[in-house]
Structure 1
Amino acid sequence: MNSPSTSFSETFAGRNLQYTSSQEVNMQPSIVGFLLLENFSLPCFTQALDVLVTANVIRPGSVRVHTFGQQHADVMSDLGIPVRADTPLTDVRLADLDLMIVCGGLRTPRDVPGWLSGLLQQLERLPMALGGLWNGAWYLGKAGLLDGYRCAIHPEQRTALSERSPHANVTLEALVVDRNRMTAATPVGAFQMMIKWLEKCAGGVLADAVLDLLDHDQARLRRAGSMRTRTLTGPLRELITLMECNLEEPLDLAQLSRCVGLSQRQMQRLFRDQLSTTPQKYYMELRITEARRLIQNSSSSVVNAALACGFISPSHFSRCYSKLFGYPPSKELRYER
């Protein structure tokens, strides 16, 4: 397979990372543990877990996950669905963790048993980060591990934690990352927390790819590069939406500029300043990306995929595809098969 002769802009690089083996790198996997407490928040847990599992789909071996419970048995979630703890707390691999997350919930008992405080204090002495989901910060705080740290906890226990752990800075935020403490108060916060962890341990490219796959609507409207956490301006968002709605019959620059009431020069400046690319390149990469997704995930022929994404000439489509991926569309993997 040949190397691509043209590279995607930063905006589209992540969207085309999935299942692309040429993007894989050799690095130590991040090892993450989830300590499941009785009646833990299943939505928080699954949101966090989804990020890590998807990272392994995109780049196999990026993350290893262990679930822990006091008895190394089923732990009942807040939705009445049990989850099996796959690793005992006595396992020597406990010391290999890079991150241990305490998973609490609305009905998780507020008393902190001695075994839990002792375990958390033991882990704090190891070179790992500690985290909490929903009210996981409560247990970290009761163990004295949030003194001098900012943290997030579900509103039900926000005031109580402030009273019980006066040296912790309890915020109103859904997610707080403060040095080696990561706490999230909601399922959305749990998702964002693991994206930030993935970015730290495996790099921004993989984190962006996961975000694009799982939260596409937000990911597609981020700025490129170092400003990717900021959203795009309204006119540029409108232009991108127009492009996405007109794949089969692409609009030219004059039509796009008329639709949003901007001159072509203003439109060029928006793409240059916020996405470090041009409208033409963005539109081309969007169409190529969507054509690839169609080929991968359906039985559509290459010709039909090209037509569906605005490429009238199959040979032109094949040349563009090969320049960006290093192989023709006929060699693309077909996941439906």
Structure 2
Amino acid sequence: MQGKNLRFLQADKAVPARQTRAGFLLLEHFSLPAFTQVLDTLVTANLLRPGLFSTTTFGLDGAEIVSDLGLVIRPDAVLGPDALKGLDLLVICGGYRTELNADEELIAWLRGAAARGISLAGLWNGSWFLGVAGLLDGYRCAIHPEHRPALAELAKATQVTSEALVIDNDRLTASSPAGAFQMALSWIGGLHGKALVEGIEDILSFEESRYRRVKVSPMVCVSAPLREVIALMEANLEEPLEIDELALYAGRSRRQLERLFKEQLGTPPQRYYLELRITEARRLLQHTELSQTEVLVACGFVSPSHFSKCYSAYFGYRPSMERRRVR
């Protein structure tokens, strides 16, 4: 590994980089996978170029915090004026069961961080806390679909998107563990360049990760507009977008988009989108404890019968057979 990544280790060796400090505010029932995706990325960056990043975990008080997976973490410090000194990034770590409840003290700390010029990030539903503090006004952001309506209602001046991650100047938001990983990579790339990002990806090898979705078709020789459309599809499996919306995003007509898919991937965009959702459904059935109903909802199917019909047509057996096949 050292030989493979020698070019990353030696890059910019003559010019020591200033250490960047990242703080993580852990809220009760925060998403441990989303948090560790960002943390692991920073730790791996330090393996390639030692000392680039330092990390600190914060709590709202001195108590231990229970993550969404039931693991207990004792933060390094309590969030406060002294804790904010020297920070470059403050990440609000929420989760599916994190209550949307921000008291005046938390709002004051967040506004104080923004006033100091600290970049602010939100994981899962962490964007809601930034929104309630008025710190997303005029920004685009991402948030888990479960909490998207609440933030849109609360923050009228915020563009709440359905994307997996959004980086808008000094606001970074992600709605899932996969989005958190890509968010961290993009932030690191902006600070230290593409070479370091490629080195991190080489080491972490996320092809085998449970958080990486299966790619149905190879992305080699795919044009930039098509890559953007596919990325948008992958970020919107739970609430599939219309083909006309995808075409508008790509700056193409529906007919042009269909021709691009046919020429470069050999399939219509509707079929490609369905394959993404079906393969993601299979991954969830194989590697999670979600029920079949939860899986079909997560992958944008309208009914159990429709899901079963599509699944059977693609894999040759019903989704109810999936776990038994794996076992």
TM-score by length of 1: 0.59
The separation in 2 between residues aligned to 1:65 and 1:214, in whole angstroms, is 19
The separation in 2 between residues aligned to 1:79 and 1:18, in whole angstroms, is 38
Match in the other structure for 1:36: 26
Q: Are 2:185 and 1:195 aligned?
A: yes
After superposition, residues 44-123 of structure 1 pair within 5 angstroms as 44-90=34-80, 92-123=82-113
- Alpha-carbon displacement from aligned partner over 1:238-257 (angstroms, at most 9, x marks no partner): xxxxxxxxxxxxxxxxxxxx
- Please tell me the residue identity of whatever aligns with 1:100: L
Deviation at 1:204, TM superposition (A): 2.0
Deviation at 1:30, TM superposition (A): 1.1
Deviation at 1:187, TM superposition (A): 0.1
- Alpha-carbon displacement from aligned partner over 1:25-74 (angstroms, at most 9, x marks no partner): 41101110100001100010011111001111111101000100011342
The structure whose Rg is larger is 1
Query: Could you say if the C-alpha distance between residues 82 and 204 of structure 1 is closer, same or farther in structure 2, counting changes exceeding 3 Å?
Result: same
Match in the other structure for 1:232: 220
Aligned-pair identity (%): 46
| Paired residues of 2:140 and 2:161 also in contact (CA < 8 A) | yes
Unaligned runs of 5+ in 2: 209-217, 223-327
Runs of 4+ in 1 over 6 A off after TM superposition: none
The separation in 2 between residues aligned to 1:97 and 1:18, in whole angstroms, is 29
| Paired residues of 1:44 and 1:133 also in contact (CA < 8 A) | yes
Match in the other structure for 2:271: none
- Please tell me the residue identity of whatever aligns with 2:29: N
Q: Are 2:129 and 1:129 aligned?
A: no
Q: Are 2:6 and 1:17 aligned?
A: yes
Query: Could you say if the C-alpha distance between residues 57 and 88 of structure 1 is closer, same or farther in structure 2, counting changes exceeding 3 Å?
Result: same
Match in the other structure for 1:145: 135
Aligned length: 212
| Paired residues of 1:152 and 1:173 also in contact (CA < 8 A) | yes
Deviation at 1:94, TM superposition (A): 1.6
- Bigger mean CA offset, 77-86 vs 23-32: 23-32
Instruction: Report the secondary structure of 2:166's partner residue.
Output: strand
Instruction: Report the secondary structure of 2:90's partner residue.
Output: strand
- Alpha-carbon displacement from aligned partner over 1:310-336 (angstroms, at most 9, x marks no partner): xxxxxxxxxxxxxxxxxxxxxxxxxxx
The separation in 1 between residues aligned to 2:204 and 2:76, in whole angstroms, is 26
The separation in 2 between residues aligned to 1:71 and 1:18, in whole angstroms, is 43
Instruction: Report the secondary structure of 1:67's partner residue.
Output: strand
- Please tell me the residue identity of whatever aligns with 1:47: Q
Deviation at 1:154, TM superposition (A): 0.2
The separation in 2 between residues aligned to 1:14 and 1:213, in whole angstroms, is 12
- Please tell me the residue identity of whatever aligns with 1:96: G
| Paired residues of 1:14 and 1:205 also in contact (CA < 8 A) | no
The CA RMSD over aligned residues, in Å, is 2.5
Q: Are 2:156 and 1:172 aligned?
A: no
Query: Could you say if the C-alpha distance between residues 208 and 78 of structure 1 is closer, same or farther in structure 2, counting changes exceeding 3 Å?
Result: same
The separation in 1 between residues aligned to 2:130 and 2:142, in whole angstroms, is 11
The separation in 2 between residues aligned to 1:212 and 1:84, in whole angstroms, is 31
TM-score by length of 2: 0.60
The separation in 1 between residues aligned to 2:205 and 2:138, in whole angstroms, is 33
Query: Could you say if the C-alpha distance between residues 213 and 175 of structure 1 is closer, same or farther in structure 2, counting changes exceeding 3 Å?
Result: same
The separation in 2 between residues aligned to 1:157 and 1:96, in whole angstroms, is 31
| Paired residues of 1:103 and 1:134 also in contact (CA < 8 A) | yes
After superposition, residues 293-312 of structure 1 pair within 5 angstroms as none
Query: Relative contact order: is structure 1 or structure 2 higher (C-alpha 8 Å, sep ≥ 6)?
Result: 1
Instruction: Report the secondary structure of 1:96's partner residue.
Output: coil
